[in-house]
Chain A
Amino acid sequence: AQSVTQPDIHITVSEGASLELRCNYSYGATPYLFWYVQSPGQGLQLLLKYFSGDTLVQGIKGFEAEFKRSQSSFNLRKPSVHWSDAAEYFCAVGPRIQGAQKLVFGQGTRLTINP
C-alpha cells in the first residue's frame, strides 16, 4: 500500500537554528514528491516538488529538500528558521501518470519556533 510517514508530529526549534523535517514513503515506483506548508486557518501552499534530475531541489522561503531513492526519503531542510516559518508541514507523493493527481499525504509535522 502507498503510504507517507512523517515521524515527527511536533518539532520545536529556536529562531535562527537549522531545521530538518523527515519524510519517508512507500510506493510502487518512484513517485512525484511534494512538500506543502499550512499556516493556521489556511489552505496548503506548495513549498517545492521533485520530479526528476538533481536530487536536491530548491523551494520558496529558503527551503530545500533532498530526494534519496535508496532510503525512500525526501527530507525538508532550512539553514536558519524565522518565526514566520511556524506552521504545519506536509509531505505528499503522487503517481507519475497523466491525469488527475491522487496524492497521498503524510500526517504532518507541526513546527514551533522559540524566540
Chain B
Amino acid sequence: GAVVSQHPSRVICKSGTSVKIECRSLDFQATTMFWYRQFPKQSLMLMATSNEGSKATYEQGVEKDKFLINHASLTLSTLTVTSAHPEDSSFYICSARVMTGTMDSPLHFGNGTRLTVT
C-alpha cells in the first residue's frame, strides 16, 4: 500500500517551454504533498508543500511564479516548471504521507522526474 505515482519519469524540453509533472497517490488520500529537487550526487531539497484546496507553501529561494503547484484533489498534485532554463535541469521528486498519518509515519516517494532543459 501507500503508492505514489509520478509522471513523466523523464522529459527533455527546450529552453523557454513549460513542463508539467503529475504526482498521484494511488491508494491513499493526501491533503499535503511535498515537492523536492535533487541535483546529481546531492541531497533532496524541499521546494514546496502542496496543500489540497489552498495555495502551496514555498521554501525560501524558490520562485513561486516559476514553479507553479496545483493540488486540486486529495490524490493529485502537479508541478509546472514555467519558462524552463538549463539550470532547472534536475531530478524532481514528490512525496506524501497517508492523510491520517502522524508525524511518525514515513513519507512515500514517487519515482521522480528527470528534467533536462536544452
Do A and B associate with each other?
A: no
